[in-house]
Amino acid sequence: MVMSITLSSVSQERLDDWRKDITTYTSLSNAASENPENVIKLSLFYEKIDNWESVCQYKKLEGLELIDMFGENFPVCILELVDLKFLSLRNNKLYNLPKEIVKLKNIEFLNLYWNENLKELPQELTNLTSIRYINIGGNPNMDWGSTFSLLSKLPNLKSIALSFNNIKALPSEVGLLTQVEELIIDNNLMKNLPNEMSKMKNLKRIVLTNNSFTTMSKVIATLLNLEEIVISNTYEEDHDKSLAGRYGHNRITDEDILALRKANPNLKVTMR
């Protein structure tokens, strides 16, 4: 079955939202009653695993979600699950991804959300040309210049999520991401966007919720394929000052919005 991605669903990162026609097993005990050949989706939350072979025995897995399941040591037997298309490793303590991840050549969705020790992605990741979506939010120690350079080499990459990274400014290398259609950079501290973003000619959707914009960057007007920009705030600054200080609060004027719509009459602007 070919997985389709649309702008309305591309940012989904939960296994339940992927291939809804297939049962998701949510515990090893739940999956144990099934023939291992029939277990295609496995989602584990906070479950203590003494022997990772109990997970890796499911050789036909296409979707695997491991949330807060291990420390800094990546369970290497996962690298033998070569049919994986969806892999979520969020809320773990990874320092790095093993170079051997290159074995997972069918990966399309890779979720690394909230592995705060992570500083870089392995160069071998560029061989995983099937990747269409990657979430590297909640990883504030990443080197974004080298990360964007690496991700630019993934020809089928359509969506990148960078939420909760304390980003104050995007590096110029963001302009290398010419294949990307959706960029999610909510809950950061940005005040402007770099001119190099004008090279992102395929960008259709950008999410800037809870940043520190006081005016809309002129570069947005050059992105003529842009269909939607989200610049809302999900809290009230007067009542949630701790959040406002940590993640920013957009203050875009009506004049900015009118200028955007004049440059791109079909642009959908989502504000609170």
Rg of the chain on CA atoms, in Å? 20
Q: How many CA atoms lie within 13 A of 156 on its CB side?
A: 17
What are the pLDDT digits (tens) for 216-240? 888 999 999 999 999 988 755 544 4
Residue 13 tokens read as: 């990162």
Residue 2: its pLDDT value, please?
34
Residue 55: its pLDDT value, please?
97
Strand-pairing partners, residue 228, are 205, 268
SS3 199: helix
Burial of 239 (0-12, 13-18, 19+ CB in 10 A): exposed
Question: Smallest Cα–Cα separation from 139: which of 104, 90, 208?
Answer: 90
Residue 271: its pLDDT value, please?
82
Q: Is the dihedral of CA 33, 38, 41, 46 positive or negative?
A: positive
SS3 8: coil
Give the Cα separation of 184 and 28 in Å (integer). 33
Question: Smallest Cα–Cα separation from 236: which of 212, 210, 257?
Answer: 210
Domains of the chain: 18-142 (3.80.10.10)
Question: Smallest Cα–Cα separation from 208: which of 147, 269, 152, 257?
Answer: 269
What are the pLDDT digits (tens) for 18-42? 888 899 999 999 999 999 999 999 9
Residue 75: enclosing H or E segment and its boundaries? Answer: none
Residue 186: its pLDDT value, please?
94
Helices (H), 3-112: 28-32, 53-56
Question: Smallest Cα–Cα separation from 268: which of 213, 232, 226?
Answer: 226
Residue 264 tokens read as: 């791109």
Local confidence pLDDT in tens for the 272 residues of the chain: 333 333 333 444 678 888 888 999 999 999 999 999 999 999 999 998 999 999 999 999 999 999 999 988 899 999 999 999 999 999 999 999 999 999 999 999 999 999 999 999 999 999 999 999 999 999 999 999 999 999 999 999 999 999 999 999 999 999 999 999 999 999 999 999 999 999 999 999 999 999 999 988 889 999 999 999 999 887 555 444 454 456 678 888 888 888 888 889 999 998 86
The C-alpha torsion from 162 through 88 and 226 to 248, rounded to 10°, is -30
Residue 261: its pLDDT value, please?
87
Residue 165: its pLDDT value, please?
96
SS3 148: helix
Give the Cα separation of 179 and 176 in Å (integer). 8
Residue 79: its pLDDT value, please?
98
- pTM as predicted: 0.91
- Pairs from 147-152 (Cβ < 8 Å, separation ≥ 24): 147/120, 147/121, 148/173, 148/174, 148/176, 148/177, 149/173, 149/176, 150/121, 150/123, 150/125, 150/126, 151/121, 151/177, 152/176, 152/177, 152/178, 152/179
